A and B are shown apart, each in its own frame.
Chain A
C-alpha cells in the first residue's frame, strides 16, 4: 500500500546527492557529476569528464555529502525509534540527555585544550573532541536510563523526567564553562554547538560508519514491538513483547548513532524530531515503515540543509544546526498548531 514512499525518497536522496556534489566554489553540471560517479563505479567508460572535477568530487565533496547522509539518517531513525518508546510524537533523542552530555564533554575538552592538551596536533585534538563528546553522550544516556529503572525495569515517565534533570544539569555546567572561556575558546565552543559538516574526510566517514550502520540495520527490526508500545507497555507485554529489552536496545542504539554523530558534527537540532513526524503525516504511524523511511528522509533533509548552508552566503558557511533549526521551527510549529488536539500526553 503506502510503499510508494520508498522509491520517491530514494530517488530524491540520489538527486539531492548529485546536486549537492555539483555545487560549491567550482560548479560542476549535474550531468557531469553523474557520469563521473558512474565511471567510478565502472558502469561507464571514458566519459571525457575532467579528472580535476573528479578529484574535487571524490576528495572534497563526496566525504562531506556522505557524512551528511549518514548523520541525517542516524538522527532520523533514532528520533523515530525514541518517539516509539516514549509513545509520544514530541520526543527526540536529546530528551534522554544524549546531546546535552555530548555538549558538556565537548565544551570541557575545548576549554581544557589550551591548558592541558597544548601539544596535541590538530587531528588528534579533533579525535579527542569526538571521543569526548561520544563518551559524554553515553554517560548521560546511561545515567538517565539507570535512574529510570523501577523494580529493574526502565520506566518511561521517570526516564523523561530524569532526562529533563540531566539536561538541565549538563546545560548549567556547559553554561558555566562557556562563561569562563576566553575568546578563542568561546568561538570554538559556539562553532561546535551550532553543528557543522565541515572538516569531513573519508577518515571521519569511516570512523562514523559502524556507529551508524548498526542502528540503521537493527532499529527497523524493532518496528513491530514499538507498534505494540503505542497500545501501552502492559498491553505490549500481553502480546508477548519483552518491553524492558526493547527499551534497552532502542536507548543503546539511539545513543550509539546520535552520540557518534554529535561527536563528529556537533549538535544538529530538529532533524530527529521533525523527520519522523513528517513521515507520519505522509504514510501513517506504522513503525515498521516509519523507521526505515525516517532514515531515508533524514539523509535527504540533511543533504539539502548542507547544500543551503554551503551556498546561501558563499563563501561563508552557515552552521548547519542553524539552517535545520530555522527551517525546522516553522514546520514544527505548523504541525503543532494543526495537530494540537491529538497531542495529549
Chain B
C-alpha cells in the first residue's frame, strides 16, 4: 500500500503541489499526465522521498516515508529520474551493477550477477555490457538507467517504482518495451507510478491515469474514465477526439491539427521579406482579379488594408488616395 494524504509542497511562497491525495495497491500501474509545469516532477520527487511535503503525509507499507532510513528506502523503492548526466566512462555493466549496491551484504554476489544479467536482457542492453556509457546514444543511455533502476528492486516484493518520463529519447520499440516492463512488474505485485507525456502510451499500458493541473489533481480513474475530449481540453488545452481501439477496447486520442497564422511568426526578421512577397502576392492577385478593390484584396490575402497600403501600392488605389488628400 502506498498512500499520500493531502500533501502540499511549497517553495519560495508558491505551492507547486496542493492538497494531493492518492492511494494505490500492489499491481497498479499509474500514469501521471499533465501539461508542462503542472507539478508532475515535483510530485514524483515527494513520492520518492527526495523532498518532504510541507504539509501532509506519505506512507509506504503503512509507515511514513520520513521514518525510513535512506538504506531501507533504497530496498523498498527505486526512482528513474529524467536527466542523468555522467562524465566518467563507466561501462554499462558497472552502472547497472550500482543498482545492486543497496543489496550488497544481503544478497550473494552470484544472485546479484544473475539479476544484473536479467535486467540487461529485458532492457535490450546485454550486447552493450562492456561498452563505455559515454559512447551510447541518448535512448541507449536511458535504457541503462532503466536497467539499473530495475536491478535495485528486481527481487523485492511489493516494491514501489517511480519513473519520470522514462521513455524520453527512446525509439518507439523501446517506448513500448519500457511500458510493457512496467506493466509486467505491476502484474508481479509492484506498484508503478510513471510520469508520461504520451497520452496514448498511458492509455495503453496504465491501469489508472492521474491528471494534474496547476499542482492539483483534476482527474483520477481508468483510462476509459479519464480520457475524453472535454477532460483533455481541461488539462492540455488541445482539441482532441477520443476513440476506442476496437482490438484492445482501450481509448486513444487524436489531437486536431493546430494552425498558426504564419504572418505572426518572426515578424522582426521577415519584415522586408513579407512586404516584398506581399507586393508580389498583390500583383499576381491583381492580374488574376483585375476588378477587385483593395478592401477585397486585403480580405482575400488575409492582411489588413493598411498593410497592403504600406507595401507601396497606395498610388494604385485612386479612391483611397483622394480620400487621404482631402483629410
Contact = CB atoms under 8 A, between A and B. Distances in A.
A226 to B, nearest CB: 10
A3 to B, nearest CB: 15
B94 interface: yes
Contacts of A230: 86-88, 90
Contacts of B145: 231
B24 interface: no
B16 interface: no
B88 A238 contact: no
A344 to B, nearest CB: 7
B76 to A, nearest CB: 10
B80 to A, nearest CB: 9
A283 to B, nearest CB: 12
A237 B98 contact: no
Contact of A89 (B50, B70, B72, B88): B88
B122 to A, nearest CB: 20
Given A89-B88, A224-B101, A240 B94 contact: no
A88 B70 CA distance: 25
Given A231-B98, A286-B94, A238 B79 contact: yes
B275 to A, nearest CB: 44
Nearest to A284: B91
Contacts of A231: 84, 86, 95, 98, 145, 148
**Max chain B C-beta neighbours (<10 A), residue from A89, A240, A280:** A240
Contact of B87 (A224, A240, A344): A344
B39 interface: no
Interface in A292-345: 342-345
A87 B152 CA distance: 22
Interface in A221-258: 224, 227-228, 230-232, 234-235, 237-242
Interface in A80-102: 87-89
Nearest to B89: A285
A240 B74 contact: yes
Q: Identify whether the interface residues of B are mostly helix, strand, loop, or mixed.
A: mixed
B78 interface: yes
A240 B75 contact: yes
Contacts of A286: 90, 94
A18 to B, nearest CB: 35
Chain A, interface residues (CB within 8 Å), range: 20 to 34
Contacts of A241: 70, 101
Q: Identify whether the interface residues of A are mostly helix, strand, loop, or mixed.
A: loop
**Max chain A C-beta neighbours (<10 A), residue from B78, B88, B90, B98:** B88
Interface string B71-109: 111110011010111111111001100110110100000
Contacts of B71: 240
A239 B74 contact: yes
Chain B, interface residues (CB within 8 Å), range: 20 to 34
Contact of A234 (B81, B98, B101): B81
B78 A87 contact: no
A342 B90 contact: no
A232 B48 contact: no
Given A239-B98, A342-B134, A232 B70 contact: no
A343 B70 CA distance: 31
Interface in A251-292: 280, 284-286
Contacts of B98: 227-228, 231, 239
A240 to B, nearest CB: 3
B152 A239 contact: yes
Nearest to A245: B70
Interface string A61-91: 0000000000000000000000000011100
A331 B133 CA distance: 25
A342 B135 CA distance: 9
Contacts of A342: 87, 89, 134
Contacts of A343: 87
Contacts of B79: 235, 238
B90 A240 contact: no
B74 A285 contact: no
B73 A240 contact: yes
B102 A237 contact: no
Interface string A192-218: 000000000000000000000000000
**Max chain B C-beta neighbours (<10 A), residue from A89, A285, A342:** A285
Interface string B310-327: 000000000000000000
A241 B70 CA distance: 7
A238 B78 contact: yes
Given A228-B98, A228-B101, A238 B50 contact: yes
A345 B88 CA distance: 11
Contact of A240 (B70, B85, B88): B70
Contacts of B152: 239
A237 B81 CA distance: 12
Interface string B180-220: 00000000000000000000000000000000000000000
Nearest to A241: B70
Interface of A: 87-89, 224, 227-228, 230-232, 234-235, 237-242, 280, 284-286, 342-345
19 contacts: A88-B87, A89-B87, A224-B104, A227-B98, A230-B90, A231-B98, A232-B81, A232-B86, A234-B50, A239-B101, A240-B71, A241-B101, A280-B88, A284-B90, A285-B89, A285-B94, A342-B89, A342-B134, A343-B87
Given A238-B78, A240-B102, A345-B87, 14 more contacts: A89-B87, A89-B88, A227-B101, A230-B86, A231-B145, A231-B148, A232-B81, A235-B79, A237-B50, A240-B75, A240-B101, A241-B70, A284-B89, A284-B94
